[in-house]
Amino acid sequence: MSSLVKEDLEKKLFKPLSQNLCEFIEIEFSVQDRYYLCVSVTKNEEVKIIMVKHYRIGLDEKYEVTKKWSLNDLQMIDGKEADTDNPFFDLHFKKVYSLEAYSCASKYAFARTVNKLNHAYLKKDLQIVNFDSTYINDDSIWSSNNKDCLVLMRICFYAFNLVCLSLCPLPL
């Protein structure tokens, strides 16, 4: 489903703006409408963070840009709590925007993409706080191109260890 939405977003919104859509996540912003937080790169190699409203008119899908920022203006991404599985995060520009991703995995996918594009294009000191750095940095042993599976893989690893430990007899 998400690949179809990405293809539709690219075709109807980003290609006409001469931008390459790198990542998008669904965010909980309004009860009535769907919103996506997108990261794109322009022809001039500027990285943009764009909030898009998705709605339908009849059978036609429509997308409207509601907010637009430059990655250069982003000061910090705050994941709220690194130790808990929550979808909440803040984007710190001149103003702080509190957002809720559709899932914790999508929140991490967004932060990974922003971090990767920052290293590729800006190389500025972008603060990414209250995230587990194991899932954010590409140099970790857990990094993968299969972005949404990272969290699941780590949870399975810990669960396996817990099962093994629980089966070990305790010395008396």
Per-residue model confidence as pLDDT tens for the chain (172 residues): 478 889 999 999 999 989 999 999 999 877 778 999 999 999 999 999 999 999 988 888 899 999 999 999 999 999 998 788 899 999 999 999 999 999 999 999 999 999 999 999 999 999 999 998 888 876 555 455 555 576 778 888 888 888 888 887 777 6
Q: What is the pLDDT of residue 1?
A: 47
- Among candidates 38, 48, 49, 43, which has minimal Cα distance to 8? 38
Q: How far apart are CA 15 and CA 147, in angstroms?
A: 24
- Among candidates 96, 88, 108, 86, which has minimal Cα distance to 29? 88
Q: Dihedrals φ, ψ of 38, to 5°?
A: -115, 150
User: Strand 34-42 and strand 19-27: pairing?
Assistant: antiparallel
Q: Dihedrals φ, ψ of 136, to 5°?
A: -95, -45
Q: How far apart are CA 32 and CA 170, in angstroms?
A: 55
* 37, 49 Cβ separation under 8 angstroms: yes
Q: Residue 158: count other Cβ atoms within 10 Å of its Cβ.
A: 9
DSSP state at residue 38: E
CATH number of 3-138: 2.30.29.90
* 10, 21 Cβ separation under 8 angstroms: yes
pTM of the model: 0.77
Q: What is the pLDDT of residue 159?
A: 87
Q: What is the pLDDT of residue 132?
A: 86
* 78, 129 Cβ separation under 8 angstroms: yes
Q: What is the pLDDT of residue 10?
A: 93
Joined tokens for residue 57 = 């008119």
Q: What is the pLDDT of residue 85?
A: 87
Task: Quickly tell me which residue has 């010395």 as its tokens.
Answer: 171
Task: Quickly tell me which residue has 């594009």 as its tokens.
Answer: 117
